DNA sequence: AAATACAATATTGTTGACAATATTGACAAC
DNA sequence: GTTGTCAATATTGTCAACAATATTGTATTT
């Protein structure tokens, strides 16, 4: 099963290509699998197995484990091994608490720095079409709209540090979030909350937008608490 | 100069001792040196040199570099090397923006979860004695008080995720923060702001405490902007 | 002297092997 | 059947050597 590692050839487009080490590729791919729950929370990660699959040495795998651990995606126990982080209820609550403030920051900065047109365009995304889709349980449409909202906000906010922190949190809670929208009524509530936030943003009312975003996160947290036995 | 690495002996107190790998020790010590500016921003970190100093192999050093990079303390350029991160003015502004919200979160949660006695005790720390010390440019006393304020708040807030994010930010801005208190008038302003925040906390007024903390951070940022040519 | 070519050196990237530790499974004692 | 040993196996921790890439120094040309 072991394939010979080919010598590294010069890239076809050396002027464009950005160097990416084996470790970087490992981090990227393992992150993807963990975030998507392709590898389940609590699952054991064996250095040997991963090294063989990606055809690299265990040293690379260990390096990748180090950064995944730092990101909170895996936990390592010395001399025992690495496990995909399993979020307990209290840790999820913590993440909701922190998110409430970081999302508030995102919405405030975006409101202050964005143009009215930006939010009008986003308001069209959160229009009656999406309302109908959500009413018909089209979660893909809803999730896509949410993603666009967040992507636009974080781009307009122009704060790489904030972006990094929020991305890291999204990575950790993505699995739970996807289940949360399944709870009857949650998606529709979220839809209306986002629409209200966008109206405040369009009107340039940063205080109100920030306040509404915080309420939105607190509400999401309340739904999580109510249905947590189904969500964990 | 090369000393033989001794075989690892069983710990004297195996029941107490928590396993700490070479990599962990490297991360801890390098972090300390970078945060304290014992290693200057922009300085080159050579794997060989560090490996020799700590008497470990380069593999360990590389692993440590991975997590330091993830924490934003160093930057690595593929095939070139690692540099201690040098914060540019715009990145510092970003960190101030994010901090404004995370510190607000800390103060709110602490207010909601702490007891009146806790804040009364802290108010004693921020009493007239400290005011006099600050007036006499006793920065050690001021910094110690600030540290106690933060330590108490973050402990009372009971949110490990928030603690981790704030610790990471403190690590990155500590050098600049220490210079900022040198600016004439800044320490005294900070002193009064902290006292006002603590009064709100003692009164259980989380809204006001949060608001004051945000103003405190915005003010600190304004001072930074005004004196940045001296601070960078 | 300035610019260039290129060998010599230094530094980072990667691997396979060995050491230390943990887990498993077979066997015996109770 | 349960429990306790202990050797066999599996897994993590570490290192030293080699490969790939970058930097430096020097001779050479202009």
CB contact under 8 A, A102 and B100: no
CATH number of the domain bearing residue A98: 1.20.120.530
For residue A159, which residues of chain B lie inside 8 Å, CB to CB? 94, 97-98
End position of a domain, from candidates A34, A51, A84: A84
Per-residue model confidence (pLDDT) at position A22: 87
Q: For residue A204, is it within any domain?
A: yes
Residue A10 pLDDT class (50, 70, 90 cuts): very low
Q: For residue A79, is it within any domain?
A: yes
pLDDT(B133) > 90: yes
The complex's ipTM works out to: 0.90
Secondary structure letter of residue B12 according to DSSP: S
Per-residue model confidence (pLDDT) at position A20: 77
Examine the domain organization and report whether B186 and B223 are in the same domain. Answer: yes
- Whether B92 and B74 have beta carbons less than 8 Å apart is answered as no
Residue A53 pLDDT class (50, 70, 90 cuts): very high
Token pair in block for residue B10: 């069983």
Residue A12 pLDDT class (50, 70, 90 cuts): very low
Task: Give residue numbers, 37 to 66 of A, with CB < 7 Å from strand D.
Answer: 44-48, 58-59, 62
Residue of A nearest to B105 (CA): A101
Residue A18 pLDDT class (50, 70, 90 cuts): low
What is the tens place of the pLDDT at every residue in B49-71? Answer: 999 999 999 999 999 999 999 99
Q: For residue A11, is it within any domain?
A: no
Distance from CA of A26 to the nearest CA of B (A): 13
Per-residue model confidence (pLDDT) at position B16: 35
Residue B20 pLDDT class (50, 70, 90 cuts): confident
What is the tens place of the pLDDT at every residue in B93-102? Answer: 999 999 999 9
pLDDT(B14) > 50: no
CB contact under 8 A, B94 and A23: no
Examine the domain organization and report whether B30 and B125 are in the same domain. Answer: no
For residue A101, which residues of chain B lie inside 8 Å, CB to CB? 101-102, 104-105
Q: For residue B4, is it within any domain?
A: no
Which of B70, B92, B104, B206 would best serve as a mutation to test chain A binding (most A beta carbons within 10 A)? B70
Kindly state the average pLDDT of the residues B146-163: 98
Examine the domain organization and report whether A198 and A135 are in the same domain. Answer: yes
Q: In what order do the strands lie in the sheet with A44-45?
A: A44-45, A81-84, A74-77
State the count of interchain CB pairs (< 8 A) between A and B. 76
Kindly state the average pLDDT of the residues A211-231: 97
Per-residue model confidence (pLDDT) at position A21: 82
What is the tens place of the pLDDT at every residue in A67-85? Answer: 999 999 999 999 999 999 9
Q: For residue B15, is it within any domain?
A: no
Examine the domain organization and report whether B112 and B169 are in the same domain. Answer: yes
CB contact under 8 A, B105 and A97: yes
pLDDT(A8) > 80: no
For residue A227, give the nearest of A189, A169, A179, A194 by alpha carbon.
A179
Q: For residue A145, is it within any domain?
A: yes
Per-residue model confidence (pLDDT) at position B22: 87
Q: For residue A76, is it within any domain?
A: yes
- Alpha carbon distance B144, B125 (integer Å): 10
Domain ranges, residue A224: 89-231
- Whether B231 and B176 have beta carbons less than 8 Å apart is answered as yes
Kindly state the average pLDDT of the residues B116-129: 98
CATH number of the domain bearing residue B78: 1.10.10.10
- Alpha carbon distance B29, B94 (integer Å): 27
- Which member of A78, A91, A165 has the closest CB to residue B21? A78
Q: Which of chain D's bases lie under 7 Å from a protein CB?
A: 11-17, 19-23
Examine the domain organization and report whether A78 and A139 are in the same domain. Answer: no
More confident: B55 or A20: B55
Q: First and final CA of chain B: distance in angstroms? A: 38
DSSP-derived 3-state class of residue B101: helix
Examine the domain organization and report whether B45 and B135 are in the same domain. Answer: no
Examine the domain organization and report whether A32 and A79 are in the same domain. Answer: yes
Share of chain B above pLDDT 70, in %: 92
End position of a domain, from candidates A37, A59, A84: A84
Examine the domain organization and report whether A191 and A144 are in the same domain. Answer: yes
Examine the domain organization and report whether B41 and B122 are in the same domain. Answer: no
pLDDT(A4) > 60: no
**Which H/E stretch holds residue A65?**
helix A58-70
- Whether B76 and B178 have beta carbons less than 8 Å apart is answered as no
- Alpha carbon distance A2, A91 (integer Å): 40
Residue of A nearest to B77 (CA): A19
Token pair in block for residue A50: 């991963």
Residue of A nearest to B79 (CA): A19
Q: For residue A157, is it within any domain?
A: yes
Examine the domain organization and report whether A134 and A196 are in the same domain. Answer: yes
Examine the domain organization and report whether A153 and A66 are in the same domain. Answer: no
Examine the domain organization and report whether B130 and B221 are in the same domain. Answer: yes
End position of a domain, from candidates A55, A84, A113: A84
Q: What's the total number of domains in chain B?
A: 2
Is the Cβ atom of B21 within 7 Å of strand D at any atom? yes
Token pair in block for residue B124: 């004693």
Q: First and final CA of chain A: distance in angstroms? A: 37
* Chain A residues in contact with chain B using a Cβ-Cβ cutoff of 8 Å: 19-21, 23, 59, 62-63, 66-67, 69-71, 78-79, 91, 94-95, 97-98, 100-102, 104-105, 109, 159-162, 165
């Amino acid at each position: 099963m072991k394939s010979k590692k080919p010598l590294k050839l010069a890239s076809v487009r050396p002027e464009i290509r950005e160097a990416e080490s084996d470790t970087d590729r490992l981090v990227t791919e393992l992150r993807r699998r963990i975030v998507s729950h392709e590898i389940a929370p609590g699952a054991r990660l064996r250095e040997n197995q991963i090294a063989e699959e990606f055809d690299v040495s265990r040293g690379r795998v260990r390096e990748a484990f180090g950064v995944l651990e730092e990101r909170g995606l895996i936990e390592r126990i010395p001399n025992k091994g690495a496990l995909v982080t399993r979020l307990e209820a209290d840790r999820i609550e913590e993440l909701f608490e922190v998110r409430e403030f970081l999302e508030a920051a995102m919405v405030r900065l975006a409101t202050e720095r964005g143009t009215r047109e930006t939010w009008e365009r986003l308001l069209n995304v959160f229009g009656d079409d999406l309302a109908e889709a959500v009413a018909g349980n089209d979660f893909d449409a809803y999730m896509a709209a949410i993603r666009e909202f967040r992507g636009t906000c974080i781009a307009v906010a122009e704060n790489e540090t904030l972006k990094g922190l929020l991305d890291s949190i999204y990575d950790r809670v993505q699995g739970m979030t996807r289940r949360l929208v399944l709870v009857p009524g949650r998606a529709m509530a979220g839809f209306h909350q986002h629409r209200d936030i966008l109206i405040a943003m369009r009107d340039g009312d940063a205080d109100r937008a920030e306040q509404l975003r915080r309420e939105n996160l607190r509400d999401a947290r309340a739904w999580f608490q109510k249905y947590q036995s189904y969500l964990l």
